[in-house]
Structure 1
């Protein structure tokens, strides 16, 4: 039996791996040759300070009721707008998992998790870290444009998929993130701030993306469609 490709999945703020797995249930069903590995963020948070109520539909709230919740950013460490300090613990944690449990085919991030994934992509592009293998793609849902230390700009030449909600409060920042990657595959949807439920056409597009690999990605120009 052929081993499945593994994609490491990073949940949003104030959630956990179980809830993220639920968000990805369509992906797990449709892409049976891919293992979506969900993990908890390294920073636990108390219920009275989490912000997940803003982005988690009310009918899903029961799924995380009385369950441990996690985040990726420690904003107590924010110093002179150095966003790296906020996410450094999480970056170290994710890099450790990628090295110890890899190889991983790709990394997927939702909302705050996409911030960690995006910073990881720039570190790989800038050759600041070496995982010992190549990440084939990054997947962002409700992502945000990256702000790097000293206002540096890094253009990532790594295949990427961007799920962007036209009704998402992060719409502009998600579009901005897509411009920081070469030839991004942008999939627009009207479902707001969430991991979207995909149409059959969108699923087929993703299957083609995964099956063609990096060489196919270099030969095809992607045009966003709703």
Structure 2
């Protein structure tokens, strides 16, 4: 009998946005991204460590509980509980990994963007293998979080043309070496990907799948 070699999907840790949840982020991707694209990735969705402190009245479809990764001032210049968040993420990466990449939306993208620099400088995430890539949806560069630029980790950035944080998102993309940027006509949301934008994502995935990296720290438990 002929044996077939099945290609391993990149395992990706998915970090949702502020005031949502792992379940909500999963549904947002299923609504906006074609299923044949999602099928190319092994997606693992994680709830943030903190229950939402502020009340929000923006969910008319999704139900609580809602979570947040960290707290900040309105101008994002001061960040609170960031170190605790990273420790929580690392513990879950040890539990559910190893992971090839990280996909984050909004506040989750801020976390994801900080991870390659922290691993490079060995200030955090030293117990898990080095991530090969990040995919950042509506993630901005804000004060209070040191990224360690320039960042050489391959990155894919989704930037909404109507997003009020547009300039912060473009600044974040500029922190990475040779970033791949997809602009979409919507605001601060998970984008609806058309065929052209989907093809760019697939090309990025195919490229990062070829990256070979030595393992460090612990492997899958």
For normalisation by structure 2, the TM-score amounts to 0.81
- Cα displacement (A) at 1:206: 1.3
CA distance in 2, matches of 1:82, 1:160: 25
Q: Which stretch of the first structure deviates more once superposed, 173-182 or 195-204?
A: 195-204
Per the alignment, residue 71 of structure 2 pairs with 74
For normalisation by structure 1, the TM-score amounts to 0.79
Is 2:173 the partner of 1:178? yes
Structure 2 gaps of 5+ residues are 1-5, 212-221
CA-to-partner distance for each residue in 1:144-163, whole Å, 9 max, x for gaps?
Answer: 114356x7852110000100
Per the alignment, residue 143 of structure 2 pairs with 147
Does structure 2 conserve the Cα–Cα contact (< 8 Å) formed by 1:14 and 1:52?
no
Change (3 A) 1:39 1:28: farther
- Cα displacement (A) at 1:4: 2.9
Per the alignment, residue 88 of structure 1 pairs with 83
* Cα root mean square deviation, aligned: 2.5
Matched residue SS, 2:81: helix
Higher helix share: 1
Structure number with higher relative contact order (C-alpha < 8 Å, ≥ 6 residues apart): 2
Name the count of aligned residue pairs: 201
| Aligned ranges 1:127-166 → 2 under 5 Å | 127-129=122-124, 130-147=126-143, 153-166=148-161
Is 2:51 the partner of 1:44? yes
Structure 1 gaps of 5+ residues are 217-226
CA distance in 1, matches of 2:115, 2:184: 25
Per the alignment, residue 62 of structure 2 pairs with 63
